[in-house]
Amino acid sequence: MRRLLHFKLNPNTRRKLLRFRSIQRGYFSFLILAFFVVLALFGPWLVNNRALIVSHGGKWYFPTLGADISGKTFGLDYDYETDYRALKEYFENTEKHKTAGDWVLLPPVPFNGREVCDVFGNLEWREAEKKYFLKGEVFAEGKAYLLHPNGRFRREWSVLGGKLHGPFCGYDIHGSLTERGRWEHGTLARYEKLSAQTEGTGAAAAAGTTGMAGAATAGVTTVGVGGFSEPLLHNLRCFLPYPNAPLTSGHLLGTDESGHDVLARLFYGFRILCVASLIYLTLTYLVGISIGCAMGYFGGWFDIIAQRLIEVWSNIPYLYLIIFLSSVLIPNLFGLMIIIVAFSWITLTYYMRTGTYREKERDYIAAARLLGAGNARIIFRHILPNTLSTVVTFVPFMVAAVVFQLTALDFLGFGLPPTEPTWGEMLRQGTENFESPWILASVVTCLVVLLVLITFVGEAVREAFDPKKFTTYQ
């Protein structure tokens, strides 16, 4: 069996590959595609919210290679997975860790395709107007914050009409409530210093809760308005609504309407397309070549019955089937590809059937039978190597077809779940947010570049393997 499955390139195939290399447009397009596919293989080391390396306390940690590492491992006060971007900022802004030589190395794009990112903007205090401004306009209504070096909230205000108005809260570095008060149209009306707190308040504070309810405390010290002065010229921050423009808070291509980093979304969407194409090609060629080769080689009643079954199967509208299954099931990539492959192998089967019919009548097949070769040896050693050169030219165009189908299904809402980083979902968001052109522009650019590269490769492969162009009849 090992000998049966051993393929060796014959001189004719090698000449075809050399012709493909001589077609520079297709050859260089192939190299560019191969480069991006290799980059996709190293996704966790290039685009990820986990750090590549963390040096802490004389030890090195590699978060991308193992399980989740809790914040307590690095001296933080929570058990869930570490926020490595906040940890990097904490190490850089804390003298103790700077002295100890602690550091964090993040990937080039420190965001994950499924991560919802909090994006802060800086509020500008204008003394002349006595108001806070955001991007040149009065900050009409929202929350303003100061942060601790570890990323937790330090103080929190309500802003109305560009002035501090409403509840005020302050937290320690662990997220426990330590201050509270109230502002009235830019004037501090009440302030209390809390020396201790009841159980549960700190958890709410750490989550950013702004309500005053549940703040029953012990050791409350009420300070007169004159005993506490909060300067208004702080560089306060506020959460920016999604989507956000490129180059905002480290997001090179901005964020989408759900708060996902667009570049990370594009990268992981390309990875999904690569995996989908691999599954699609493997299953389609496996089914199409097997059935087509069997029909052409054995012929007779098997060929007739198989053709009638294929005709019936090809008349089933697979789009309606996908819509039905999407409405009753939670689709996943492999299941979706199974449905697409189930209706995509038929054309390949006809080409293999025709090629096998032609090859099995040649003299070298008759000579192999006379020498005692069995059906398996004839098929794997003689027929398949001489028929695959025809169907291999379909590979680039089949990849382009599956990219188009997956993108279209995700755009219509019948593909993968919206939480998955797919280009179709980004395309839908872009068409619904024309005021944020970077979303649509980025995904359309990637789609056009990818499909153009695939088309160039397909044209070069078809030209290099064209028997009519490079065959001389004697």
Domains annotated for the chain, with CATH where assigned, are 11-39+260-464 (1.10.3720.10), 53-105 (no CATH), 120-239 (no CATH)
Q: Which of 135, 115, 179, 182 is nearest to 153 (CA)?
A: 179
**What is the separation, in whole angstroms, between the first and last Cα of the chain?**
38
- For residue 110, whether the previous peptide bond is cis, meaning omega lies within 30 degrees of 0, is no
* pLDDT (average), residues 312-317: 86
Structure tokens given for 4: 């049966």
* pLDDT (average), residues 30-38: 94
72 has a pLDDT exceeding 90? no
164, 176 contact by CB (below 8 A):
no
* pLDDT (average), residues 281-290: 92
Q: What is the band of 439 on the pLDDT scale with cuts at 50, 70, 90?
A: very high
Q: What is the band of 203 on the pLDDT scale with cuts at 50, 70, 90?
A: very low
**pLDDT given at position 205:** 36
Q: What is the band of 53 on the pLDDT scale with cuts at 50, 70, 90?
A: very high
Mean residue pLDDT across the chain? 82
Can you give the C-alpha Rg of the chain in angstroms?
32
2 has a pLDDT exceeding 60? no
**pLDDT given at position 225:** 42
Q: What is the band of 413 on the pLDDT scale with cuts at 50, 70, 90?
A: confident
CA dihedral of residues 267, 268, 274, 276 (deg, nearest 10): -150
Q: What is the share, in percent, of the chain residues with pLDDT greater than 70?
A: 87
CA dist 61 to 65, 74, 80, 150, 275, Å? 9, 10, 16, 19, 30
**pLDDT given at position 407:** 92
* pLDDT (average), residues 280-300: 90
Note the pLDDT tens digit of each residue in 111-154: 998 888 888 888 888 888 888 888 888 888 888 888 877 777 88
Structure tokens given for 299: 């012929």
* pLDDT (average), residues 91-102: 85
Q: What is the band of 1 on the pLDDT scale with cuts at 50, 70, 90?
A: very low
**pLDDT given at position 34:** 94
Interhelix angle for 437-464 vs 24-41, to 10°? 130
267, 109 contact by CB (below 8 A):
yes
210 has a pLDDT exceeding 60? no
CA distance linking residue 294 with residue 313, whole number of Å: 18
Note the pLDDT tens digit of each residue in 160-191: 888 888 888 888 887 788 888 888 888 888 88
359 Cβ partners below 8 Å, 6+ apart?
365, 382, 383, 386, 387
Paired strand residues for 125: 132
Identity of residue 207: A
**pLDDT given at position 230:** 53
